[in-house]
């Protein structure tokens, strides 16, 4: 099995970092320092080695360092499946971010082919008790890790749905205006549903095959009402049939955007939403690890893992077990915490970075 890792990472005018350079060797990276020092900003920079808006879902303008607002740049040497690529991504004064790979301009889809990146951040701790949108996003991130084309299908679907919703709000009744949009939605929506189901199967299989200290989750893709049509043709028919109801609501009420991810703590038979805070966090960690194990077999290397304040709600035994599983997997995990004691169980299996803040500027110190 190959390895996927960054051997160097450089930040320029990114968030709180004016300049930062880190040299890595493939081991996990433990980042510690006080709250607000800029630890999560490093993880966000690594997350930009994948398509999309990064782990905070921020705009390019929001990532630029203030007060300079000159724009920002993140670059790194990415080792993937035996090859090494120089990856650069940047934004000039808030413009859409650009990507260059090995000195040549590239689209974000290229990043999806080169690397797989998964993350777990504190805002996800409430995943099981808040709205379905967050759970769909979580599932789509996992799906994207298995099928990079999932992003294109999602964009096509969302664009066509926005146009259809505009027609609905304007009370347009001529079926001719809807057919082409609903055809696009049906093809993309069916592809989205199939890819999500395949991702769930991969996660289930990875959980069943693993010996882990973390609880398994029974996963199911459900609809807010009714069932998801089984094919593109069936979805197109459902969209056409639903027009009068959708027109009254002013939005589309059928399709994969109405799906939700249901999870049950398998050993206890308890829905994830009813579990304790610690159990909910353990289920999330379990799914991230299952996703990573599945990718190690399918992609050929474990993904980059970004675990922000991962020790929160984990007792010392589970924290040590997490580190053991990460190291056994061979993943380069970038982890943050407030103090070095949180990473003692890693010993020399990890590199360490100490981050401090002076007058609003983050400073990075590499420690062995």
Decide: 108 and 99 in contact? Cβ < 8 Å: yes
Chain center to CA of 165:
27
Distance, in Å, from the CA atom of 122 to the CA atom of 134, rounded to the nearest integer, reads 13
Residue-level pLDDT at 120: 95
Q: How far is CA 280 from CA 263, 264, 274, in A?
A: 10, 10, 9
Distance, in Å, from the CA atom of 25 to the CA atom of 44, rounded to the nearest integer, reads 20
User: Which parts of the chain sit beneath pLDDT 70?
Assistant: 368
pLDDT, one tens digit per residue, over 137-160 is 999 999 999 998 898 999 999 999
Residue-level pLDDT at 106: 95
Find, among 1, 238, 284, the residue nearest to 124 by Cα: 284
Q: How far is CA 278 from CA 40, 170, 273, 312, in A?
A: 22, 47, 12, 9
Q: For residue 325, give every residue at least 6 positions away whose Cβ sits within 8 Å of its Cβ, in sequence order, or none.
A: 212, 213, 214, 289
Q: For residue 181, give every residue at least 6 positions away whose Cβ sits within 8 Å of its Cβ, in sequence order, or none.
A: 160, 161, 163, 164, 167
Q: For residue 18, give every residue at least 6 positions away whose Cβ sits within 8 Å of its Cβ, in sequence order, or none.
A: 12, 65, 361, 362
Decide: 164 and 182 in contact? Cβ < 8 Å: yes
pLDDT, one tens digit per residue, over 339-351 is 999 999 999 999 9
């Amino acid at each position: 099995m190959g390895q996927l890792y960054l051997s160097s990472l450089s930040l320029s005018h990114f968030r709180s970092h004016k300049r930062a350079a880190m040299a890595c060797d493939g081991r996990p990276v433990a980042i510690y320092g006080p709250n607000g020092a800029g630890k999560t900003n490093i993880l966000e920079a690594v997350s930009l080695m994948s398509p999309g808006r990064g782990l905070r879902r921020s705009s390019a303008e929001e990532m630029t360092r203030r007060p300079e607002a000159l724009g920002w740049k993140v670059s790194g040497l990415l080792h993937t499946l035996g090859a090494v690529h120089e990856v650069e991504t940047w934004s000039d004064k808030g413009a859409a971010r650009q990507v260059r790979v090995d000195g040549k301009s590239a689209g974000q889809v290229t990043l999806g082919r080169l690397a797989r990146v998964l993350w777990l951040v504190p805002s996800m701790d409430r995943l099981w008790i808040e709205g379905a949108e967050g759970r769909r996003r979580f599932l789509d991130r996992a799906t994207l890790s298995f099928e990079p084309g999932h992003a294109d299908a999602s964009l096509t679907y969302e664009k066509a749905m926005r146009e259809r919703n505009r027609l609905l709000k304007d009370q347009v009744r001529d079926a001719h205006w809807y057919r082409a949009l609903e055809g696009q939605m049906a093809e993309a929506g069916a592809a989205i549903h199939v890819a999500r189901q395949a991702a769930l199967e991969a996660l289930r299989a990875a959980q069943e095959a693993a010996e882990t200290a973390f609880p398994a989750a029974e996963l199911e893709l459900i609809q807010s009402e009714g069932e998801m049509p089984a094919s593109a043709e069936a979805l197109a028919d459902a969209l056409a049939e639903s027009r009068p109801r959708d027109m009254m609501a002013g939005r589309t009420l059928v399709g994969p955007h109405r799906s939700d991810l249901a999870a049950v703590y398998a050993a206890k038979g308890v829905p994830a939403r009813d579990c304790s805070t610690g159990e909910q966090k353990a289920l999330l960690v379990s799914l991230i690890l299952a996703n990573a194990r599945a990718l190690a077999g399918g992609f050929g290397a474990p993904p980059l893992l970004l675990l922000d304040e991962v020790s929160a709600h984990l007792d010392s035994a589970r924290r040590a077990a997490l580190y053991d599983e990460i190291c056994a997997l061979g993943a380069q995990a970038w982890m943050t915490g407030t103090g070095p004691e949180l990473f003692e169980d890693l010993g020399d299996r990890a590199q360490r970075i100490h981050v401090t803040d002076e007058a609003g500027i983050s400073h990075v110190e590499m420690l062995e």
